[in-house]
Structures are given as C-alpha cells and as structure tokens.
Amino acid sequence: MMTFHREGRSIMLLSTLIFLVLSYLNYTLLSPAYWAFFLILEFGFIVLLYLIFQFFRIPKRKCLGSAFDVMCPADGKVVVIEEVEETEYFKDKRIQLSIFMSPLNVHANYFPISGRVCYSKYHPGLFLVAWHPKSSTDNERSTFVVEDDHGTKILFRQIAGALARRICYYAQTGDKVTQGEEFGFIKFGSRVDIFLPLGTKIDVKLEDKVKAKLTKLATLN
C-alpha cells in the first residue's frame, strides 16, 4: 500500500490541471489529422505526470530496528563511507556515511535512532550537485543531532542538490523522537549524511542500494 506526501499535494494538483489542459489542446489540434503525433505527445504527458506523482509516493513500511541499530533515514545509494572531521557540532573525527537520493527515489526522511533532538539548525547555501565533495558544507542543508537513551549522539544532515530547491524539516531541538518517525522531506534530488562515533560497526558498503526504515546502516556500541 502507498500514499502520497503532503508536501506534494499542491504540485500534484497543479500538474494534473496542466496535464488536462495540454491533453485537451493536444486532442483538439492534432487529432484525428495527426494521430501519430497526438499519441506521442499524449504518451509524453502521461509519463511526466507519472514521474511527478511517483516522486511524492510514500510506501507503507514498518521500522523494526533495535535500540542499538542505526536504521536508514532515506531511500538511495551509499556513496560515502569514510572517517572525517565533523566541524559543525562534534568538532572531532566521525564516520561519515552518505546516501544519495536520485529524483526516482522516495524522498521522505526518517529518524535513524530514537531519543531526544539536542541540536537542530537550518543553513541556507548553494545548490551544488549532491555528490560534490563540498555539498555537505556549502549547500542548503539542515542538521540534527539525536541522543539516544544510552547517551550516544549521532548527527544527520539533509543536503539540497542541484535540483532540490526546498528542504522540509519538522524536528526541533528538545523533541522526543522515535526511530522510523518522519523528520523531513527534500524535493527533487538530494543527499543525507550521517555522522557516527568512531568504532561503530558499519553494516553496509559503498554502492549498496538502501531503503528508509528497512536497511540497517550500522550497529552502535
């Protein structure tokens, strides 16, 4: 079963109205004299409308992660697993794990662990392609840190890409949150970075296709 995200309601409605107008004009101007052209254009309109609707789809999934599991916050592909210096909050070395979301992926974002939001901040910025090395620090982004019941903190960050022009986020500092609960949405291509403590067991590898709420990314100590 699948539903559609509230962030897409106005876009889907507008797209449907445009589709109906274009289909009417296409039928009026090209059918039946240019039947082949009519069919080609109509097929193109249907494909575009389908792509817009599927972008905002929200499949029904149940998150079954344990208290020590870091569950995937987004659908996509693992593009970075490396030790880096995290400069915004921890200001020390962490394991960065990055997930790239193409325009064809589900773009809702979910909390990877349960706990309390102890930091949240939105940063305006650029719109470099999501796989650019500086996109994590220079692009429009929002950063969150959640502390679990065992005192472990992990940072995760929504990053806008070249096509993503709006980051939506719902979590605020002080919120009590549950693993698998939605915290945001990014429109049209983007990336999510997760920063884990050194020594964390990573359960995925580069180029793995991962799914939000279903794929276990790592196991906390």
Inter-residue contact 71 to 180 (CB < 8 Å):
yes
Report whether 190 contacts 161 (CB < 8 A).
yes
Domain boundaries, the chain: 2-59, 69-219
Rg (CA), the chain: 20
Whether residue 90 contacts residue 116, with contact meaning beta carbons closer than 8 Å, is answered with: no
pTM for the model: 0.84
Confidence of residue 189 (pLDDT cuts 50, 70, 90): low
* 81-102 confidence digits (pLDDT tens): 999 999 999 999 999 999 998 8
The CATH class of the 69-219 domain is mainly beta
Which of 163 and 79 is assigned the larger pLDDT? 79
Higher pLDDT, 87 or 7: 87
Catalytic residue list contains 135: no
Catalytic residue, chosen from 135, 136, 142, 190, is: 190
Nearest Cα to Cα of residue 186 among 113, 120, 99, 97: 99
Q: At what angle do helices 35-55 and 9-30 cross, to 10 degrees?
A: 180
What is the per-residue pLDDT across 199-210, written as a single tens digit (0 to 9) for each? Answer: 999 999 999 999
